[in-house]
Chains A and B, each alone.
Chain A
Amino acid sequence: MSQLPPSWQHVGRHELFPEAGHDDTARFDFLANLNGLLAGQLAPKVRTAYEQEVKPAFEKREGRVPATRHEVRKAMATNTAYQNWSALRRSSMEMRQQTGRRLVLGQLDALIDKAERRNAEPGLVLDPNIEQPRYAAAVDIHCMPGGYHGELTDHDVSAGANYDSGIFATTGGMLGRYNDGGGQAIARWLARDYPDFKPKRILDIGCTIGHNIVPLAQHFPDAEVIAVDTAAPVLRYGHARARAMGVENIVFRQANGESLDYPNAHFDLITTSMFWHETSAKALPRIMNEIHRLLAPGGLTVHLEQPQYHEGMDPFEQFMRDWDAYNNNEPFWSVMHSYDLGEMMRAAGFSDAEYFETGIRAWVDAAIFPEAGSGEEDYGRSAQWTAFGAWKEAT
């Protein structure tokens, strides 16, 4: 029997977190269990249908097995097990958005008031001249109506509050109470393996609500932390959230990571979390070049991402991981995950000797939550990631 997801009642609350009643919790609990069934019971049936029906039929027709995830996708499109799994998964994502938005929008005025009070404290720098990059505006990323940047009213924080409220249910609590398992994992990895590393200036790019940079800001309380994003609603919410959690050493700044106005070698640590797959083929190298320019000698850049489609990964496995790209508004996911990460960083100026790549798991409170990454593979939501980056050589 698979482990039950923790109830949404355990979600980490702070001053900015939307106030929820019984029914909101019940809806998120339903969704977490529905996702559990989809990943644990129905996804394996999709694999069985592929192995027993779709692949043999393809082989009979073509005289070979499917060679790419794209061939698998086309062959699977008419398969009933795949259709059922996909239709329910899409439905679940849409219900999650509606549930979070209804919770948030019903108390939007109060949330804006709370955020405005916190945001009167220093540390939020918005720039209305920042344009949304095409990769953020072409579709609403993972089916959040309005994306990260959409504003329903002045000083809107709804995108951030909705994002914060739903991740716990979508991931079955695998990212921890404050959805910060990625940031916690990096902080713990540094504490264990590099206890002498004490960055003075830290930059986080594509921070959204800052959930993964807050643990690093707490771990390095003397560091000056800059968290940038192009979307104002998540920055307003993120800054107020960090302040409400007692974190005062992060400046949340509306800026585009492709071109930042900090001097060369300004930062000792530069991070991103689950960011690259939401960019584009043009933006990614530009941001990577900025990271190389901004990183001080002896400094570290580290990035958390979903696992790459390494050569030799079963085309069916790639196809399952690709689901979000085609069906959950993650249009750069598929291409990004086929990149050679080392090559990507070499092109930005990092040497082979500097580059590293490793597996990393989200850190969560094991007393309350199921051990991260121990359950069934859930194709894109498991808290088992690739960490890659480079230590820039000291000159």
Chain B
Amino acid sequence: MTDSGIDPVLAAAAKAKGKRPWFFKDPDVERVLNITMALAMELAVTRQRLDVLERLLDQRGVLARQDIEQFTPEADAEQERQQWNRDYIARVLRILIQSAEGESAEAAGVDQAMEAVMDELTRM
């Protein structure tokens, strides 16, 4: 909060007056695109910050940037790093994994509509 009582976070995110045009058939898709672009920007910010770190460490002789390019993990580290990748991808693509799981569960009769379960439990 500023002395003037403004919340810079929310005030910065204010909408401009004027009806917003939506370009995709489904505005929900465009909302997701906007969130994705914001994440892309913040990822770029992080990547640039990392780049500053590498360059400063290099300049100050802590490591050479070439060390990063040529880094070859030992077997344990390799495992940990690949495990991290697998974990990360599952986090990012959770909704797709769950959608596929949901479709097969429904096909197998495992997943029922919640109303159907409610009815069933009311009768039992």
Stretch in contact with the other chain, from A80-88, A177-185, A208-216, A383-391? A80-88
When distances are taken between beta carbons in the complex, the residues of chain A under 8 Å from B18 are: 138-140, 143, 329, 331
B13 contacts A by Cβ under 8 Å: yes
Q: Decide: A94 near B12, CB < 8 A? Known: A83-B23, A140-B18.
A: no
When distances are taken between beta carbons in the complex, the residues of chain A under 8 Å from B38 are: 95
- The reply to whether A83 and B24 form a contact with Cβ atoms under 8 Å apart is yes
When distances are taken between beta carbons in the complex, the residues of chain B under 8 Å from A90 are: 20-21, 23
Least CB distance, A339 to chain B, in whole angstroms: 23
When distances are taken between beta carbons in the complex, the residues of chain A under 8 Å from B45 are: 23, 26-27, 30
The B1-43 residues at the A interface (CB cut-off 8 A) are 2-6, 8-9, 11-18, 20-24, 30, 33-34, 37-38, 40-41
B79 contacts A by Cβ under 8 Å: no
A31 contacts B by Cβ under 8 Å: yes
Q: Decide: A108 near B2, CB < 8 A? Known: A30-B45, A87-B30, A102-B8.
A: yes
Closest to B30 in A: A87
Chain A 178-195: CB-based contact to B (< 8 A → 1; otherwise 0)? 000000000000000000
The B34-61 residues at the A interface (CB cut-off 8 A) are 34, 37-38, 40-41, 44-45, 48-49, 52
When distances are taken between beta carbons in the complex, the residues of chain A under 8 Å from B4 are: 108-109, 112, 152-154
When distances are taken between beta carbons in the complex, the residues of chain A under 8 Å from B20 are: 90
- The reply to whether A94 and B11 form a contact with Cβ atoms under 8 Å apart is no
Least CB distance, B5 to chain A, in whole angstroms: 8
- The reply to whether B2 and A101 form a contact with Cβ atoms under 8 Å apart is no
Least CB distance, B57 to chain A, in whole angstroms: 16
Complex CA–CA separation, A327 to B30 (angstroms): 14
Q: Decide: A105 near B48, CB < 8 A? Known: A143-B16, A153-B4.
A: no
- The reply to whether A22 and B48 form a contact with Cβ atoms under 8 Å apart is yes
When distances are taken between beta carbons in the complex, the residues of chain B under 8 Å from A331 are: 18
Chain B 54-88: CB-based contact to A (< 8 A → 1; otherwise 0)? 00000000000000000000000000000000000
Least CB distance, A364 to chain B, in whole angstroms: 24
A356 contacts B by Cβ under 8 Å: no
Complex CA–CA separation, A30 to B47 (angstroms): 11
A98 contacts B by Cβ under 8 Å: yes
Q: Decide: A153 near B6, CB < 8 A? Known: A26-B45, A26-B48, A145-B16.
A: yes
- The reply to whether B48 and A86 form a contact with Cβ atoms under 8 Å apart is no
Interface size on A, residues (CB 8 A): 43
Q: Decide: A109 near B2, CB < 8 A? Known: A140-B16, A152-B11.
A: yes
- The reply to whether A94 and B34 form a contact with Cβ atoms under 8 Å apart is yes
Least CB distance, A277 to chain B, in whole angstroms: 15
Choice from A88, A143, A146 contacting B37 with Cβ under 8 Å: A88
Complex CA–CA separation, A143 to B2 (angstroms): 24
A144 contacts B by Cβ under 8 Å: yes
- The reply to whether B14 and A145 form a contact with Cβ atoms under 8 Å apart is yes
The A45-61 residues at the B interface (CB cut-off 8 A) are none
Choice from B8, B22, B49 contacting A22 with Cβ under 8 Å: B49
- The reply to whether A102 and B9 form a contact with Cβ atoms under 8 Å apart is yes
Least CB distance, A201 to chain B, in whole angstroms: 36
Least CB distance, A109 to chain B, in whole angstroms: 5
When distances are taken between beta carbons in the complex, the residues of chain A under 8 Å from B52 are: 22
Complex CA–CA separation, A88 to B45 (angstroms): 19
Complex CA–CA separation, A144 to B12 (angstroms): 10
Choice from A22, A91, A145 contacting B15 with Cβ under 8 Å: A145
- The reply to whether B41 and A105 form a contact with Cβ atoms under 8 Å apart is no
Complex CA–CA separation, A331 to B15 (angstroms): 17
Complex CA–CA separation, A200 to B15 (angstroms): 43
When distances are taken between beta carbons in the complex, the residues of chain A under 8 Å from B30 are: 87
- The reply to whether B23 and A108 form a contact with Cβ atoms under 8 Å apart is no
Closest to A80 in B: B24
Q: Decide: A98 near B21, CB < 8 A? Known: A87-B30, A91-B37, A105-B6.
A: no
A326 contacts B by Cβ under 8 Å: yes
Choice from A95, A112, A139, A146 contacting B41 with Cβ under 8 Å: A95
A166 contacts B by Cβ under 8 Å: no
Q: Chain A CB within 10 Å — which of B22, B23, B30 has the most?
A: B23
- The reply to whether A101 and B14 form a contact with Cβ atoms under 8 Å apart is yes
Q: Which residues of B contact A (CB under 8 A)?
A: 2-6, 8-9, 11-18, 20-24, 30, 33-34, 37-38, 40-41, 44-45, 48-49, 52
4 additional A-B residue pairs with CB within 8 Å, beyond A94-B16, A106-B8: A22-B52, A95-B41, A105-B8, A140-B17
- Shortest Cβ-Cβ A-B pairs, 3 listed: A139-B18, A153-B4, A105-B8
CB-defined A-B contacts under 8 Å, sample of 9: A87-B22, A87-B33, A95-B37, A105-B2, A140-B17, A143-B18, A152-B4, A152-B11, A329-B17
